[in-house]
Structure 1
């Protein structure tokens, strides 16, 4: 039987002796805690020495705090820069808009002074708004590379909307379906198609004609607020004819007011050159000095006063007229070359910027340019020549208008020529051209 003392001795023998940790870690190694060494460092027998692990980091410590701090700073600066850029852009835009409005205000003031206009209150605001729209439209058009003509707000209609302009200067009328009268002479030898082709084949028709250089073209006039374009085209064609036959010294300006008051038509609401020629063939036509034009301001026809003046264009002998074969560019060229000037009607209603035209060859009716010029003849003008634009090589008709010298090229414009001579084209100026004749057999 084992006694209590013997049991205690056995327990002590089974318990390993305590070890001094300082002795274990003193074998050529620095004094460190066990957690500060790698496994290789604690294996002294293998003689491997590695760098200490370093202090153990706390589990809850955030190791990326500096990076996040810099990220927040970066995004904050980026947002600030963006805000500055936006504010600068807004400021530049506001300044540009302010400068643009100032330019429009200045141009509008010059427009009123140039054309003798005065507006007040709401009317001035409306005119300024219309002018601003036209100003921006002209600027945008002129920087485009696909147009052969320019626009400007320097003309008299720049403070009118398109609708206002058309109502005043291009009155709506039915299509010209009238028949020619007995004073129409269709068999002029130069109107024969074979004769026309022969003249071109023999190169007897020049490439360019400008009747203004010969002095028998009347000065540009202004029809004003009256839709009397048809009377101006007729009277000016007769002036050229009278000048050619009687000499420039004996040529006198003819009365458009007499045609407004007396000829078959709607006065200031429009009419046809053919009707005006018919009237002159029967009643003659007085001078503008004896029967001056007044409807431009009154916007209405007056009572006929032809009995109060003596006609300078006599009935019958000088008042017949020829019609150029329709839809033939060559036939119209022959007529202009041999017979001075030719009255034509054209489609102006669908030309959205003709009232702002300032120069070049007008091509607003070409597909893709914004116009849809076709066969609604609603404006009468006078063809005084034709040619080819030197810089662009673009063929044109040289046309005299009745909107005053401040419009277009001193009252004239160039219309694109030769689109397609076998259809109603060139804004329909080829549909029914007319020119005066002395007798049925006049050359």
Structure 2
């Protein structure tokens, strides 16, 4: 969009990716009823997405030629400001022709539904792949709120809008919970679920309240032309807990996305040299077992280092994979009865590297392992 504006293109406008294709085809999620950000961003990188105009959001049919991808679909929740909006009782065709069909089809704001099967979506749409995506750690990953907010502001300026998620409460639909400047402040009601929006900016209102400016998916007829605000800092919405995801188009021909390391599990696995010799203290091996998943094929390296004797050992994958199970013999390297730190690294085929840890653990003594086996 910015590039087209720079060239003086009068037709430059917001150009949306297909939300329906993302919810239907990315996998590891339940569409609008619960998705998976790492899987979604990896799908955009590996498979690409069609444009909204070619693969529109589907569930209910209505006509709208404003160029905005998700004009409000529910009169109960918003006032339609578009003069081009025309509700329709027409059923959504399974395979609408993007060149001739007048339909766009949106789900009800209040009624979640299973996503349309991926194989029912238009299969001839051109795809655009995201060259690079990144994650900004939230407080759940050990970051601090000032660090997260500083990083988010930097990336909003450099890379553009960010994906963020927050908790949604019943009073989200209550006018009492909104300030005159358009800031949603949770006051009462139960949690409805977790909601995904786009962070596009930040500011301070006339009453000195710092806020994030967010773009919702309810359409241009909702709140301030589809935008709303939430307070910055710590709040009941827990936006800072979940962190943020973004894309970088500065080097479209180069893969710069780091693999994501998830579901890390560490465990000890002692092995007796001879079961009959357990009482005499004969241990054959004491393995540190490390398992993890990555969101793309990568090679994983596990390193452990003693904190008092500085003994170090490591083991790594021999091939690229997404499911990793590695073991390292602590008895062989002489790392028992000590505190140690463990760290993981993952490198993908483009040599992008991600890390996990360090994580500190207690390594039991040889005697403790033997007693556990006897």
The alignment's TM-score, normalised by the length of structure 1, stands at: 0.37
If asked which structure has higher relative contact order (CA below 8 Å, sep 6+), I would say 1
Larger radius of gyration: 1
TM-score by length of 2: 0.43
- Greater helix content: 1
